[in-house]
A and B are shown apart, each in its own frame.
Chain A
Amino acid sequence: MARIIIVDDDVELADNTAALLRKHGHEVSTLNTTEDAVRKIIKIDPDIAILDVMFPDNAAAGFDLSRQIRNTKATKDLPVILLTGINQEFPMDFSSKDVDPDWMPVQDFMEKPVKIQALLEKMNRLLKNPGKK
């Protein structure tokens, strides 16, 4: 069992993903804004974070939050999976090795809506090897 935090402005998607993960025995918390998110993440102390990219007030909030997580001492080693609903809008492979890890300090990427089995596989892999991209 892992403790997971989901940060997504789409309440329905966040809740559904949380429900699916709970069915698989994980402990899941959700946040629907990135405001004060790092402090809340520290308080929850999750094993893994799943972040959406686009929020209503900031189209790159997920990128910003992933950098804040990496630059905060308490969360710098937290594995992060980014939900990239925007990868079809941009001809860019976010999971490419060429993506600068300082610009995008996350361990993995998934397209929304997540397929639960694929998400579980990625999570298990990351929890075993947290540093691997």
Chain B
Amino acid sequence: MGSFRLDPVPPSSETMPRADGLTGAVLLHNARWFIRIRWIVVSLLTGFGVAGSLLDPQVARHFGFLPPGPWPLYLAVILTILNLTANRWARLLSTRTTWRWVAANIWFQIVTDLLVLTALVCLVGSTSTIIGFTYLFHITLACIFFGRRDSFLVTLLSALLFLAAVTAQCAGLIPCMGILAGAAREAPDILAAAVFAIPSVFVWMIVWFLVSSLSDTVRQRDHALEAANQRLIQADEKINLQMLRVTHDLKAPFSGIESNIQVLKLSHWAEMPEPVRQIISKIDARSIALRARIGDILMLGSLRSTQAGGRVAKPVKLLELLAAVVHDVHELAAGKRVSVALAATDTRVLSDPEQLRILFSNLISNAIVYSHEGGTVDVRINEEAARVKVSVVDQGIGISEKALPHIFEDFFRTQEAATFNANSTGLGLAIVRQVANNLHLCVVVESEKDKGTVFNVFIPAE
């Protein structure tokens, strides 16, 4: 027995306005990612502090290091407090928050990070180590997160803080620290410090220029792609609309044919020889089948244009709704001598009754159509923890395991189905998929060829 699960497509979260090529949703994602990365930095600082306090100073000196003392732990605590603040703030933000608030959160994180990083640079050794190049991490991220102006501001702020720290150490305003045993713990030589610091800042500027240019190019490409995508979507919508209009117009002639055949049957049927009657009946059957196909195309088009969740959900009495559907298909069932059994207690769900009716009408009709003559179709409702399961069970021709993943595709028909029911439009299950997607339902199909099929529809409980 094969099975296939159809899950609804989650709705897009791209609801916030764009800024510098980044949507608010992406910015929010970045802000949260930034917080997670900072926890790693906090862990590293804590590990460094603990290792430093446990390490024998003699051993550390032997390897050319000075014990750091408690400052890594102090910095870890400060960074933890700042990260908790940023995290609390980020939790209040959602994809519906205006872009400015998300950007403010990121700016808060960047500025506080740069201040803590400057303290770290001073403590590790601003000119005696290459710790200053960790500013590049922020500069690169700013180039990715923001436009050129804002990323330049981050670069400028980094450079100013670094140069201010080096100047303050040279002037003796703040004590000189370092973790390298060879580095003197007294004010560095101004010329040597300048030879180190100024080219460093120059390198940062070059990195900023290159990364921001690259990022800008990628963003422009992204914009061009998005614009092209929008044009394609609009063109697609226009074509769909025209197709729907043409399809709607196609319905009228078939209605006319059926109407004329009704007049023929009522007024002139007795006058016509049997072969002519047979031909007219065939024309009638073809016309009805074609009109049904047109109806399915129009229904699918309409369901696709219905915004997911756009319709107001109402309390739906499932048993009542299913009983109405079973009543609607009783002629079809009687024609095939298929009995439809509805066994369930009344259950309420919060959904769109019209779309549910369309979904179950298609599933139950299909179960009847693909049942053998004299077969049975069972419709059951089972209440589960947080959802309601509606099962439509038949003992019909079944679906092969190979075909199962494709049955919800537009116009898909297995060879067996096409042979068994020549009038199948191949759109019934595409309509089921669209309704399931619109109402965020999950549909699970279990089937065995020549044994039968079970469609389980899971609806969130009221």
Residues of A within 8 A of B (CB): 10, 12-13, 16-17, 19-20, 23, 85, 88-93, 96, 98, 112-113, 115-116
Contacts and interface: CB of A to CB of B under 8 A. Distances in A.
Contact of B353 (A10, A16, A19, A96): A96
B354 A91 contact: yes
B353 A113 contact: no
8 contacts: A20-B266, A85-B251, A88-B299, A89-B244, A91-B435, A93-B354, A112-B255, A113-B256
B355 interface: yes
Contacts of A96: 353-354
Contacts of B314: 98
A17 B259 contact: yes
A89 B298 contact: yes
A11 B267 CA distance: 19
B266 A98 contact: no
Contacts of A90: 302
A interface SS class: loop
Given A16-B263, A19-B263, A88-B299, A113 B357 contact: no
A19 B298 CA distance: 30
B354 A10 contact: no
Given A89-B244, A89-B248, A89-B298, A23 B267 contact: yes
B interface SS class: helix
B258 interface: yes
A23 B306 CA distance: 43
B255 A13 contact: yes
Pick from A19, A23, A91, A98 the residue with the most CB of B within 10 Å: A91
B301 interface: yes
Contacts of A113: 255-256, 258-259, 262
A16 B248 contact: no
B251 A20 contact: no
A119 B354 CA distance: 24
Interface of B: 244, 248, 251-252, 255-256, 258-260, 262-263, 266-267, 295-296, 298-299, 301-303, 306, 314, 352-355, 357-358, 435
A92 B302 CA distance: 10
Contact of B354 (A12, A16, A92, A115): A92
Contact of A10 (B256, B295, B302, B435): B256
B196 to A, nearest CB: 71
Contacts of A10: 252, 255-256
B295 A88 contact: yes
A40 B306 CA distance: 38
Contacts of B259: 12-13, 16-17, 113
Contacts of B267: 19, 23
A131 to B, nearest CB: 22
A17 B258 CA distance: 11
A2 to B, nearest CB: 18
A36 B244 CA distance: 31
**8 closest Cβ pairs, A-B complex:** A88-B295, A113-B255, A16-B259, A113-B259, A89-B298, A113-B258, A91-B354, A88-B298
B270 to A, nearest CB: 13
A116 B262 contact: yes
A40 B358 CA distance: 38
